[in-house]
Copies of this chain bind each other. A is one copy, B any other.
Amino acid sequence: MGQIERTETPAGGKAESILAAAKRAFLAGGFGAVSMDAIAREAAVSKATVYAHFGSKEELFGAVIGRECEQRFAGLSAGELDPGDVRASLMELGRRFLHLVLSPDALALHRIILGEVIRFPVLGEVFWRAGPERNLQQIQAFLENAAAVGTLSLPHPRLAAEQFVGLVRGEIQLRQLLRLQPEAGLEEINAAVRAAVKTFILAFARRANASGPQSPGCTTN
Query: Which residues of A, 146-165, contact B by the 8 Å Cβ criterion?
Result: 153-156, 159, 162-163, 165
Chain A to chain B: the 4 pairs with minimum beta-carbon distance, closest first: A115-B115, A32-B32, A124-B178, A166-B166
A152 to chain B minimum Cβ distance, whole angstroms, is 10
Interface string of A188-221 (1 = CB under 8 A from B): 0000000110011011100110000000011111
> A interface, how many residues as a size bin?
35 or more
Within the oligomer, what is the number of copies of this chain?
2
- Most B CB atoms within 10 A — which of A33, A124, A166? A166
A117 touches B179 (CB 8 A): yes
- The main secondary structure of chain A at its interface with chain B is helix
Known: A30-B118, A170-B166, A171-B162. A203 touches B207 (CB 8 A): no
Out of B121, B132, B163, name the residue touching A196 (CB < 8 Å): B163
Chain B residues near A199: list those with CB within 8 A. 163, 203-204
Q: Does A95 contact B (CB under 8 A)?
A: no
A204 touches B204 (CB 8 A): no
Chain A residues within 8 Å of B, Cβ to Cβ: 28-33, 110-119, 121, 124-125, 127-128, 132, 136, 153-156, 159, 162-163, 165-171, 174-175, 177-180, 195-196, 199-200, 202-204, 207-208, 217-221
Out of B31, B118, B153, B165, name the residue touching A170 (CB < 8 Å): B165
